[in-house]
Protein backbone atom coordinates (compact mmCIF):
# COMPACT_ATOMS: atom_id res chain seq x y z
CA UNK A 1 0.00 0.00 0.00
CA UNK A 2 1.25 3.46 -0.90
CA UNK A 3 0.56 6.27 1.56
CA UNK A 4 0.71 9.80 0.19
CA UNK A 5 1.86 12.92 2.00
CA UNK A 6 1.73 15.05 -1.15
CA UNK A 7 1.35 18.73 -0.30
CA UNK A 8 2.34 18.22 3.35
CA UNK A 9 5.26 19.85 5.17
CA UNK A 10 7.11 17.95 7.89
CA UNK A 11 9.80 18.85 10.40
CA UNK A 12 11.79 16.01 11.98
CA UNK A 13 14.16 16.57 14.90
CA UNK A 14 17.12 14.29 15.41
CA UNK A 15 16.92 13.58 11.68
CA UNK A 16 20.58 13.06 10.78
CA UNK A 17 20.69 9.36 11.63
CA UNK A 18 18.81 6.32 12.86
CA UNK A 19 15.07 6.51 13.38
CA UNK A 20 14.85 10.22 12.59
CA UNK A 21 16.57 9.85 9.24
CA UNK A 22 14.39 6.86 8.35
CA UNK A 23 11.23 8.83 9.17
CA UNK A 24 12.42 11.82 7.14
CA UNK A 25 13.19 9.54 4.19
CA UNK A 26 9.79 7.87 4.44
CA UNK A 27 8.01 11.21 4.46
CA UNK A 28 10.03 12.54 1.53
CA UNK A 29 9.38 9.35 -0.46
CA UNK A 30 5.66 9.83 0.24
CA UNK A 31 5.76 13.30 -1.30
CA UNK A 32 6.18 15.59 1.71
CA UNK A 33 8.53 18.56 1.92
CA UNK A 34 10.77 17.88 4.90
CA UNK A 35 13.02 19.97 7.13
CA UNK A 36 15.70 17.85 8.80
CA UNK A 37 17.04 19.16 12.10
CA UNK A 38 19.82 18.03 14.42
CA UNK A 39 22.93 19.41 16.11
CA UNK A 40 25.58 18.77 13.43
CA UNK A 41 25.52 20.32 9.96
CA UNK A 42 27.80 17.78 8.29
CA UNK A 43 25.63 14.88 9.43
CA UNK A 44 22.49 16.70 8.28
CA UNK A 45 23.94 17.43 4.86
CA UNK A 46 25.00 13.81 4.48
CA UNK A 47 21.51 12.61 5.41
CA UNK A 48 19.90 15.11 3.04
CA UNK A 49 22.08 13.96 0.15
CA UNK A 50 21.09 10.36 0.85
CA UNK A 51 17.37 11.09 1.16
CA UNK A 52 16.78 13.47 -1.75
CA UNK A 53 13.45 15.07 -2.60
CA UNK A 54 12.12 18.46 -1.51
CA UNK A 55 14.11 18.82 1.68
CA UNK A 56 16.14 21.33 3.65
CA UNK A 57 18.30 21.18 6.75
CA UNK A 58 18.77 23.36 9.82
CA UNK A 59 21.08 22.95 12.76
CA UNK A 60 19.24 23.11 16.09
CA UNK A 61 19.69 21.71 19.57
CA UNK A 62 16.35 20.12 20.45
CA UNK A 63 16.74 21.21 24.06
CA UNK A 64 17.18 24.92 23.23
CA UNK A 65 13.87 26.81 23.01
CA UNK A 66 15.28 29.67 20.93
CA UNK A 67 16.61 27.21 18.35
CA UNK A 68 13.28 25.41 18.25
CA UNK A 69 11.53 28.70 17.54
CA UNK A 70 14.01 29.51 14.76
CA UNK A 71 13.75 26.07 13.16
CA UNK A 72 9.95 26.16 13.03
CA UNK A 73 10.06 29.68 11.59
CA UNK A 74 12.56 28.58 8.94
CA UNK A 75 10.40 25.60 8.01
CA UNK A 76 7.37 27.82 7.52
CA UNK A 77 9.32 30.39 5.52
CA UNK A 78 10.96 27.73 3.35
CA UNK A 79 7.94 25.53 2.66
CA UNK A 80 4.92 27.74 3.41
CA UNK A 81 3.67 26.04 6.57
CA UNK A 82 4.05 23.09 8.89
CA UNK A 83 1.70 20.09 8.90
CA UNK A 84 3.69 17.35 10.64
CA UNK A 85 6.09 17.69 13.56
CA UNK A 86 8.12 14.67 14.65
CA UNK A 87 9.77 15.02 18.06
CA UNK A 88 12.42 12.37 17.64
CA UNK A 89 15.57 13.90 19.16
CA UNK A 90 16.62 12.31 22.43
CA UNK A 91 19.65 11.84 24.62
CA UNK A 92 20.86 9.45 27.28
CA UNK A 93 24.06 10.84 28.82
CA UNK A 94 23.94 8.64 31.91
CA UNK A 95 23.97 4.89 32.49
CA UNK A 96 23.62 3.71 36.05
CA UNK A 97 21.35 3.72 39.07
CA UNK A 98 18.84 6.56 39.14
CA UNK A 99 19.69 7.28 42.76
CA UNK A 100 23.28 8.15 41.78
CA UNK A 101 22.72 10.47 38.82
CA UNK A 102 24.23 13.95 38.96
CA UNK A 103 21.81 16.79 38.38
CA UNK A 104 23.58 18.13 35.30
CA UNK A 105 22.95 14.92 33.37
CA UNK A 106 19.48 14.59 34.90
CA UNK A 107 18.60 18.08 33.66
CA UNK A 108 20.06 17.44 30.20
CA UNK A 109 18.01 14.25 29.81
CA UNK A 110 14.78 15.99 30.75
CA UNK A 111 15.55 19.13 28.73
CA UNK A 112 15.98 17.18 25.49
CA UNK A 113 13.62 14.23 25.98
CA UNK A 114 10.64 15.91 27.66
CA UNK A 115 10.86 19.69 27.69
CA UNK A 116 12.09 19.61 24.10
CA UNK A 117 9.00 17.93 22.62
CA UNK A 118 6.77 20.34 24.55
CA UNK A 119 8.66 23.42 23.33
CA UNK A 120 8.77 22.28 19.69
CA UNK A 121 5.05 21.49 19.84
CA UNK A 122 4.35 24.90 21.35
CA UNK A 123 6.22 26.57 18.51
CA UNK A 124 4.50 24.46 15.86
CA UNK A 125 1.13 25.33 17.39
CA UNK A 126 1.80 29.05 17.77
CA UNK A 127 3.44 29.59 14.40
CA UNK A 128 1.32 27.35 12.17
CA UNK A 129 -0.87 24.57 13.50
CA UNK A 130 -3.28 26.74 15.51
CA UNK A 131 -4.61 28.04 12.17
CA UNK A 132 -3.57 25.29 9.79
CA UNK A 133 -4.13 22.14 11.86
CA UNK A 134 -1.69 19.27 11.72
CA UNK A 135 -0.18 16.23 13.35
CA UNK A 136 2.46 15.86 16.08
CA UNK A 137 4.32 12.60 16.59
CA UNK A 138 6.46 11.97 19.67
CA UNK A 139 9.03 9.18 19.62
CA UNK A 140 8.84 7.61 23.06
CA UNK A 141 10.09 4.12 23.99
CA UNK A 142 8.85 0.83 25.38
CA UNK A 143 11.14 1.82 28.24
CA UNK A 144 8.35 4.15 29.29
CA UNK A 145 6.41 1.06 30.35
CA UNK A 146 9.30 -0.87 31.92
CA UNK A 147 11.77 -0.98 34.78
CA UNK A 148 15.24 -1.49 33.31
CA UNK A 149 18.58 -1.33 35.12
CA UNK A 150 20.87 1.49 34.13
CA UNK A 151 18.47 3.60 32.09
CA UNK A 152 15.82 4.46 34.65
CA UNK A 153 16.07 8.23 34.19
CA UNK A 154 15.88 7.93 30.40
CA UNK A 155 12.84 5.68 30.77
CA UNK A 156 11.26 8.14 33.19
CA UNK A 157 11.42 10.84 30.52
CA UNK A 158 9.79 8.50 28.04
CA UNK A 159 7.02 7.56 30.47
CA UNK A 160 6.35 11.25 30.98
CA UNK A 161 6.39 11.83 27.21
CA UNK A 162 3.69 9.20 26.77
CA UNK A 163 1.53 11.04 29.30
CA UNK A 164 2.35 14.41 27.72
CA UNK A 165 1.19 13.00 24.39
CA UNK A 166 -2.24 12.28 25.86
CA UNK A 167 -2.41 15.70 27.53
CA UNK A 168 -1.58 17.59 24.34
CA UNK A 169 -3.91 15.42 22.27
CA UNK A 170 -6.78 16.51 24.48
CA UNK A 171 -5.80 20.17 24.48
CA UNK A 172 -5.11 20.54 20.74
CA UNK A 173 -8.07 18.54 19.44
CA UNK A 174 -9.88 18.60 17.12
CA UNK A 175 -7.56 20.36 14.66
CA UNK A 176 -4.22 18.85 15.71
CA UNK A 177 -3.66 15.15 16.34
CA UNK A 178 -0.93 14.16 18.81
CA UNK A 179 0.34 10.59 18.94
CA UNK A 180 3.46 8.70 19.94
CA UNK A 181 5.42 5.64 18.92
CA UNK A 182 7.12 3.47 21.54
CA UNK A 183 9.90 1.61 19.75
CA UNK A 184 11.43 -1.49 21.20
CA UNK A 185 15.11 -2.31 20.73
CA UNK A 186 16.04 -0.87 17.34
CA UNK A 187 19.47 -1.24 15.75
CA UNK A 188 20.63 2.36 15.95
CA UNK A 189 23.94 3.88 16.99
CA UNK A 190 22.34 5.35 20.10
CA UNK A 191 21.21 1.91 21.28
CA UNK A 192 24.32 0.05 20.10
CA UNK A 193 25.53 -0.74 23.62
CA UNK A 194 22.22 -2.49 24.33
CA UNK A 195 22.04 -4.73 21.27
CA UNK A 196 25.43 -5.24 19.65
CA UNK A 197 26.97 -7.63 22.22
CA UNK A 198 23.97 -9.98 22.27
CA UNK A 199 21.89 -9.43 19.12
CA UNK A 200 21.26 -13.09 18.33
CA UNK A 201 20.31 -13.98 21.90
CA UNK A 202 17.94 -11.01 22.24
CA UNK A 203 16.36 -11.68 18.85
CA UNK A 204 15.80 -15.35 19.71
CA UNK A 205 13.80 -14.34 22.79
CA UNK A 206 11.39 -12.12 20.84
CA UNK A 207 8.12 -13.30 19.27
CA UNK A 208 9.09 -11.92 15.84
CA UNK A 209 12.64 -13.25 16.23
CA UNK A 210 14.55 -10.12 15.21
CA UNK A 211 15.54 -6.71 16.44
CA UNK A 212 13.95 -3.64 14.96
CA UNK A 213 15.32 -1.59 12.08
CA UNK A 214 14.79 2.19 11.75
CA UNK A 215 12.43 1.58 8.82
CA UNK A 216 10.10 -0.42 11.10
CA UNK A 217 9.50 2.77 13.08
CA UNK A 218 9.37 4.93 9.96
CA UNK A 219 6.53 2.82 8.53
CA UNK A 220 4.45 3.39 11.66
CA UNK A 221 5.33 7.09 11.61
CA UNK A 222 4.13 7.37 8.03
CA UNK A 223 0.76 5.86 8.92
CA UNK A 224 0.24 8.08 11.97
CA UNK A 225 1.08 11.24 10.01
CA UNK A 226 -1.20 10.37 7.12
CA UNK A 227 -4.92 10.81 6.58
CA UNK A 228 -5.35 7.07 7.16
CA UNK A 229 -4.92 7.89 10.86
CA UNK A 230 -7.34 10.83 10.82
CA UNK A 231 -9.36 9.34 13.72
CA UNK A 232 -6.33 8.48 15.85
CA UNK A 233 -5.08 10.84 18.56
CA UNK A 234 -3.66 10.48 22.06
CA UNK A 235 -2.41 7.01 21.19
CA UNK A 236 1.01 5.45 21.78
CA UNK A 237 1.72 2.75 19.20
CA UNK A 238 4.12 0.09 20.46
CA UNK A 239 6.44 -1.17 17.71
CA UNK A 240 8.70 -3.71 19.39
CA UNK A 241 8.52 -7.08 17.64
CA UNK A 242 6.31 -8.35 20.43
CA UNK A 243 8.92 -7.86 23.15
CA UNK A 244 6.43 -6.44 25.65
CA UNK A 245 4.58 -9.74 25.54
CA UNK A 246 7.37 -10.94 27.80
CA UNK A 247 9.72 -13.93 27.93
CA UNK A 248 8.07 -17.17 27.02
CA UNK A 249 5.55 -15.54 24.72
CA UNK A 250 7.17 -17.06 21.67
CA UNK A 251 6.03 -20.65 21.21
CA UNK A 252 8.08 -23.01 19.12
CA UNK A 253 6.39 -23.97 15.85
CA UNK A 254 7.53 -27.52 16.56
CA UNK A 255 5.16 -27.78 19.55
Domain 9-238 has CATH 3.30.1050.10: no
pLDDT band at 9 (very low <50, low <70, confident <90, very high): very high
pLDDT tens sequence across 175-220? 999 999 999 999 887 665 665 677 788 888 889 988 999 999 999 9
Q: What was the pLDDT predicted at 200?
A: 83
pTM of the model: 0.94
Q: Strand 236-239: give its sheet, edge to edge.
A: 55-59, 33-38, 9-13, 84-87, 134-139, 176-183, 236-239
| 255 pLDDT above the threshold of 60 | no
Say if residue 253's pLDDT is above 60: no
Q: What's the pLDDT tens digit per position in 47-90?
A: 999 999 999 999 999 999 999 999 999 999 999 999 999 999 99
Task: Clarify whether 27 is annotated catalytic.
Answer: no
Average pLDDT, the chain: 93
Amino acid sequence: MEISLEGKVALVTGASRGIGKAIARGYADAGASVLLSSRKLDALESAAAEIGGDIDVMVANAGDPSQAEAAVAHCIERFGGLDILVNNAATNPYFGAAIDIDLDRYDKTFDVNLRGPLVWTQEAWRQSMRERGGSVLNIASVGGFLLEPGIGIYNTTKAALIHLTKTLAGELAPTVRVNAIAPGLVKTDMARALWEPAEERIAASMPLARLGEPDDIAHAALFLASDLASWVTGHTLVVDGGALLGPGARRSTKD
